[in-house]
Amino acid sequence: MSHRLEVAMRNTEMAKLGGLVGEWTTTLSDAWFLEPPGTTVPGTGTIEWLGESLLVVRLAFGGERHPHSEMSVVLGRSDANDRFVALYQDDRGVCREYVTTFDGGRWTMVREDPDMHQRFVADVEADRILGRWEASEDAGRTWRKDYDLTFVRAGG
């Protein structure tokens, strides 16, 4: 009887996102929907591998005078279509699909759905991600900022 050792191999293109893996402290700020202006909401995040070809982003916000909220994103790749994809869900029961790009220094997630266009644009550094969420109700002709989202590597 022969035993074959299976060696897991990380998806080559997904491996480029490996620098995102870790524990993060997050801050949601400059949101049009938070009162008073200047309000920040603290949070935590983890980014970890799910198998060899997916990353899972889990974020939780809230505390003190802010309601608790959670969101998750699964980052993957369609090798056949040569593109990254993301599935987003949150504790409101919302589920959305985003086309994703990552070039090492810039991470984007974009959706162009009938109800709204939305995008996340972030500059990625070794221990910090400076991002913002934007929305458009006119099919991308004009954009408004929803909020800034900053990640700082825990212990970094």
**CATH superfamily membership of 14-153:** Calycin beta-barrel core domain (2.40.128.20)
The answer to whether the beta carbons of residues 116 and 123 sit under 8 Å apart is no
Tokens of 15: 């491996």
| Four-residue CA torsion sign, 156, 132, 43, 37 | positive
- pLDDT grade for 153, boundaries at 50, 70 and 90: very high
Locate tokens 């458009």: which residue? 136
Tokens of 11: 């998806």
Type of residue found at 97: E
14 burial type by CB count under 10 A (0-12 exposed, 13-18 middle, 19+ buried): buried
Tokens of 134: 């934007």
What is the average pLDDT across 97-113? 93
The confidence score (pLDDT) of residue 132 equals: 97
The confidence score (pLDDT) of residue 134 equals: 97
Type of residue found at 109: M
Three-class SS string for 66-102? Answer: EEEEEEEEEEEEECCCCEEEEEEEECCCCEEEEEEEE
What is the average pLDDT across 91-99? 94
